Amino acid sequence: MNPTVRVRFAPSPTGGLHLGGMRTVLYNYLFARQQGGHFILRIEDTDQSRYVTGAEEYIFECLKWCGLEPDESALHGGNYGPYRQSERKEQYRQYAEKLVEQGFAYYAFDTPEELDQMRERLKTESNHAPQYDHAARKQMRNSLTLPESEIKKLLNDGTPHVIRIRMPENETVKFMDMIRGEIQFETNVVDDKVLLKADGMPTYHLAVVVDDYLMKITHAFRGEEWLPSAPVHILLWKYLGWEESMPQWAHLPLIMGPNGKLSKRDGSKYGFPVFAMNWTDPRTNEFTEGFRERGFLPEAFVNMLAMLGWNDGTEQELFTIDELIQKFSIERIHKGGAKFDFEKAKWFNHEWIKKLDVAHLKSAVEKVYREQGLEVENDPRLDRIIELIKDRCTLLTDFWQQGSFFFYTPAEHDADAVKPKWNEAKKDFFISLSEELNATPDWQSAFIESAFKQMATSKNIKPGELQLPFRIMLVGGKFGPPVFDIAEVLGKAETLKRIKIALEVFG
RNA sequence: GCCGCGUUCGUCUAAGGGCUAGGACACCACCCUUUCACGGUGGUGAUACGGGUUCGAAUCCCGUACGCGGUACCA
């Protein structure tokens, strides 16, 4: 029997969604689609103190923008819900209690202060961070050290307590990671992790195991930062008697910033976006720019993200999402972390802008102009304009800088580019040219060009010396597509108007 | 400190015992272009270090160094 592949992405609504998280979703998604399986979105909202209102909806928006919508989630439905941990609260206690009964876990009544004292007391030169482990638990207040009667009393009195896993002594926990191969940990160096918190909420360790079992998850992809707690999860699968159903593990390498792991907190400090979309933390009002708003196409963002830790072994770098689904393979995911390079990210976007046709770019470009206060939706020239400038745009926002002169007569001219070589003869040329163009019914790029060159010849001036001034007149600066194409798109009246204005400026 | 995972040009990476270690980004030069780009050609630039195994090591093994992660009633 070949079980259906079921993968899940489980963000915590504690803030934005950064590159590492987005890549985890992507790989989950690619694998699920490739295998014809299910992609599930579960929300880890059991840390009440850090829950951010609106973050869950924001996560959905990000996935939607990238085209990575889940099959099952709190908002999409599915047969294994609920998909928010907070709504599954009751189930976790039941399993935690079962573990206690079987001796695989125990109640611990220690207060936060007592834990601090223990850590202080046990701290030595060779042990900077003492753990609540098989040795320490013997000195603490828990159901392993307290007499039966006292445990009963504490429980009956409703004394706050947690349930901790009882890590075995002198055992080796081994498991296979699809990316890294066999990995092993000594149980002696793993602490007795809290499974159920005093508020009745599960920790990630319990929740991830219970949910993955109940939701029939077959493959678990997560960041490398989870590797150290993997032995706890492996043991839990075993202790709960579900070893047969344990998913296959894949711990993804981390995505690094300029110094160390990319963090959500520093999202606004890198000088480049680390979130898929704009995010303002409602608690701090801290704003973090997103790739979307910075001018990235979702196609480029997804492509770039996929290549940050995976490649297909060929020299191909540009992939559509369908190609990624087809070619993705867990075996080819890298082991080492990758430092994020914004320059390369921009290159991907530039390639995608060049690659996509006008129809596909149009609505995004319209949006850029709209944000600048310019409505272009009904402008019949828009297609032509996009075609003319798209190769020069790295980010979608560049369409404004590269194309606004089509809509606005330049307010300023790059006089430095013209003035040094400006003279009466050139001025005379443009006056004559204006008259000539004004008299003609034709208005195609090729026609304007030949009229321009004939006029230059008859005035005995090299056409090349006149093209730059002409460009400055129409554009305002030294950039843009071929100048005669610009004149064509601008139309006769606007072109003549700009020549006239510029002649006054140049004197 | 302890535990774990890593380490090929500045960055992302290819090469799974066998040619001068290949490609991409960035950078530089030239060509194209009488603007800015696109495009084209070429260039600078890497197997962390030390031992093994082998006819032969970036590749396998051991050690060291360095980096990252974890070491919470956060995920």
Cα angle value A276/A278/A282 (rounded, 5°): 125
Q: What is the mean pLDDT of chain A?
A: 93
A287-288 and A38-41 as β-strands: parallel, antiparallel, unpaired? unpaired
Any strand B atom closer than 7 Å to A372 CB = no
Q: Does nucleic acid strand B have an atom less than 7 angstroms from the CB of A317?
A: yes
Number of Cβ atoms within 10 Å of the Cβ of A288: 22
Which own/partner pairs from A291-295 qualify as long-range (CB within 8 Å, at least 24 positions apart)? A291/A345, A292/A65, A294/A395, A294/A397, A295/A349, A295/A368, A295/A395, A295/A396, A295/A397, A295/A398
- Tell me, in Å, how far CA of A314 is from C1' of B19? 20
The reported pLDDT for the residue numbered A2 is 57
ipTM: 0.95
Q: List pLDDT tens digits, range A275-308.
A: 999 999 888 888 899 999 999 999 999 999 999 9
- Average pLDDT over every residue of A239-259: 93
CB distance A261 to A254 below 8 Å: yes
C-alpha span between A144 and A19 (Å, rounded): 43
- Nucleic strand B within 7 A of Cβ A199: yes
**More confident site: A232 or A423:** A232
CA A26 to chain centroid, in Å, comes to 9
Taking alpha carbons only, the member of A507, A399, A393, A417 closest to residue A470 is A417
Length of chain A: 507
- Other CB atoms closer than 10 Å to residue A16's CB: what's the count? 27
Q: Is the CB of A185 under 7 A from strand B?
A: yes
Nucleotides of B under 7 A from a protein CB: 1-8, 10-16, 22-26, 34-39, 67-75
Query: Is A117 near strand B, with its CB below 7 A from some atom of it?
Result: no
- Out of A264, A419, A453, A492, which one is annotated catalytic? A264
Which of A86-100, A119-133, A477-491 comes out lowest in average pLDDT? A119-133
A264 is catalytic: yes
Cα–Cα separations (whole angstroms), residue A428 to A190, A302, A347, A507: 86, 54, 44, 11
Longest CA–CA separation in chain A, Å = 112
pLDDT in tens, A178-206: 999 999 999 999 999 999 999 999 999 99
State residue A1's pLDDT score: 44
- % pLDDT > 70, chain A: 99
Please give the nucleotide, over all strands, whose C1' is closest to the CA of residue A347.
B25
Amino acid found at A107: Y
Q: What percent of chain A shows pLDDT beyond 90?
A: 85
How is residue A372 written in tokens?
């600048």
Convert the pLDDT of each residue in A383-415 to its tens digit. 999 999 999 999 999 999 999 999 999 999 998
**pLDDT for the residue numbered A270:** 82
Could you identify the residue written with the tokens 């099952």?
A: A72
pTM: 0.94
Q: Which of A314, A195, A259, A226 is nearest to A12 (CA)?
A: A226
Partner residues linked to A108 by β-bridges: A142, A162
Helix axes A424-439, A492-506, angle to 10 degrees: 160
- Closest nucleotide to residue A343 (Cα to C1')? B25
Dihedral through CA A407, CA A412, CA A415, CA A418, nearest 10?
A: 20
Quote the pLDDT of residue A440: 87
| Any strand B atom closer than 7 Å to A456 CB | no
Look at residue A212 in the predicted model and tell me its pLDDT. 97
Task: Show the tokens assigned to A367.
Answer: 């949006």
**A476 strand B contact, CB < 7 Å:** no
- Alpha-carbon span A54 to A46, nearest angstrom: 15
Separation CA A197–CA A315 (nearest Å): 50
CA A342 to C1' B5, in angstroms, rounded, equals: 25
CA-to-C1' span, A244 to B30 (A): 64
Contact A217, A40 (CB under 8 A): yes
Q: What per-residue confidence (pLDDT) applies to A283?
A: 87
How does pLDDT run across A422-479, given as a tens digit for each residue?
Answer: 999 999 999 999 999 999 888 999 999 999 999 999 999 998 889 999 999 999 999 9
